[in-house]
Amino acid sequence: MRADLAASYGEERLPRYTSYPTAPHFSPAIDEGAYARWLAELPTGASASLYLHVPFCREMCWYCGCHTQIVRRDGLIAAYLRTLRSEIAQVSETIGRRIKVEHIHFGGGTPTIMAPEAFAELMAAMRHSFFVLPSAEIAVEIDPRTLTADMVEAMRLSGVNRASLGVQSFDPVVQRAINRVQSYEQTASVVDMLQRAGINGINFDLIYGLPHQTVASCLDTVRRSLELGPDRFSVFGYAHVPDFKKHQRMINEAALPDGLARHDQACAIANALKEAGYVQIGLDHFARPDDSMAVAFEERTLRRNFQGYTTDKGEVLLGFGASAIGHLPQGYVQNEVQIGAYAQSIAAGHLATAKGYGLTDDDRLRADIIERIMCEFSVDLGDICARHGAEAGAMLKSASRLKPLISDGVVRLDGDRIAVAKDSRFLVRSVAAAFDAHLDPAKQLHSRAV
């Protein structure tokens, strides 16, 4: 990474481009009626991925950017899960058939907060309403501090084959500053339980840019994580947005590293993981060379969705639960964010869609360009534009933000082919943003570019 570029571009706030257009552009004009039509119009033979949002935790991590709430009573969780099962049946009935499912992802919050028997019932409901393929990847996000042996057994019996563990940092000073004290021993114990249950796909989530974090503490976290041998790492920069996430006000802003320090931390983590034999995948993922994600990256079939980088090739993502987002060929839909409003909609027999976005032909073209940049650090504009019936020259002319990136050596332009320089790949979001026709730099809704 070039420090001069980190200083020039690092403070800019840009989307992570897990969708295009991004969620701030969703509108109430896309309502439950539009979603119902889109579901009914899904082509025969379509396969889907399912995302289930479980918005509950036992305590709040102050860095968190998720839609979640703290619960002490399990009755609230049980009621929510009943609503979730109703929504699953409702969506399947609207489609009119049991479509194939290749991926299932439980996100949160803390999905494993539910009772083990409730998890089994939820999986059974999905298998009843959809045809979950025997080869499907079933992934669950886990807080190692609260996972029980009974839950691991329920996951095993339900076919879970991938687990994503929140680690963030093993530095106790950092952990106290973000209200997430989690020992190395707790994490190691959970990895052992999962592997004994045959759940061998293990992901670790790490974060840089946290309060009191240093290059040395980041490298120590990487070293200790490598001892546990996960298949994949996701490495994210902390997004400090206290105006939107009020609990982040508990974090001392004076203790946050500046842009150059964040750059050094990200660089150190990336180099340590690559030296350990992991392949860097796009912006923020790392995988063992034989992992399916590394293979997809090599074969240029890697995709990007709301969970980040994925091997999922499907064009249909069905989101379930409060705030969940779905992606269909026609566009995006998002459920009611508030749990009460979401539950009321489902109880009344309505889809819980609160807003969304209907894709235009130009959106689809730009989405393909941005996805390839995010996944491969390069894009053949001639090829993609030809497939969409557009002119590469006109697309380049519209991308005025590319000019300084080319001048600064971040981007190389060879005919219609754009490539991000190897020492500038940490600015891939800045390159993708050059093709974002909806981007409004005046609205600071996103995380810093570095």
Phi, psi of 360 (to 5 degrees): -100, 170
Phi, psi of 417 (to 5 degrees): -100, 130
Buried b (16+ CB within 10 A) or exposed e, 291-315: bbbbebbeeeebebbbbbbbbbebe
Q: Supply the pLDDT for residue 314.
A: 79
Integer Cα distance of 444 and 104 in angstroms: 32
Which residues is 287 bridged to in the sheet? 232, 279
Residue by residue, pLDDT tens for the chain (450 residues) are: 566 777 777 667 788 899 999 999 999 999 999 999 999 999 988 999 999 999 999 999 999 988 899 998 899 999 999 999 999 999 999 999 999 999 999 999 999 999 999 999 999 999 999 999 999 999 999 999 999 999 999 999 999 999 999 999 999 999 999 999 999 999 999 999 999 999 999 999 999 999 999 999 999 999 999 999 999 999 999 989 898 899 999 999 999 999 889 889 999 999 999 999 999 998 899 999 999 999 999 999 999 988 889 998 878 999 999 999 999 999 999 999 999 999 999 999 999 999 999 999 999 999 999 999 999 999 999 999 999 999 999 999 999 999 999 999 999 999 999 999 988 888 899 999 999 999 976 655 555 555
Other CB atoms within a 10 A radius of the CB of residue 106 amount to: 28
Please tell me the total number of residues recorded for the chain in this structure: 450
Helices in 158-214 by DSSP H: which ranges?
172-177, 184-196
CB-count exposure of residue 412 (10 Å: 0-12, 13-18, 19+): middle
Q: CB within 8 A of 39, min separation 6: which ones?
A: 91, 94, 95, 328
Integer Cα distance of 334 and 322 in angstroms: 9
Q: Give the start-to-end residue ranges of the domains of the chain.
A: 1-20+360-450, 21-320
Going by the DSSP 8-state scheme, the letter that residue 241 receives in this structure is -
Integer Cα distance of 139 and 155 in angstroms: 10
**Looking at this protein, which amino acid is placed at residue 53?**
H
Which residues is 54 bridged to in the sheet? 108
Q: Supply the pLDDT for residue 370.
A: 97
| 1-20+360-450 and 21-320 in the same fold | no
In the three-class reduction of DSSP (H, G, I as helix; E, B as strand; rest coil), residue 177 is classed as helix
Integer Cα distance of 65 and 355 in angstroms: 20
Q: Supply the pLDDT for residue 448.
A: 57
What is the DSSP track for 89-131? HHHHHHHTS--EEEEEEEEES-GGGS-HHHHHHHHHHHHHHSE
Q: Supply the pLDDT for residue 95.
A: 97
**Looking at this protein, which amino acid is placed at residue 256?**
L
CATH of domain 1-20+360-450: 1.10.10.920
Is the preceding peptide bond at 111 cis, omega within 30 degrees of 0? no
Q: Supply the pLDDT for residue 212.
A: 97
Phi, psi of 167 (to 5 degrees): -115, -55
| Correct CATH for 21-320 of 3.20.20.70, 1.10.510.10, 3.40.640.10, 3.80.30.20 | 3.80.30.20
In the three-class reduction of DSSP (H, G, I as helix; E, B as strand; rest coil), residue 40 is classed as helix
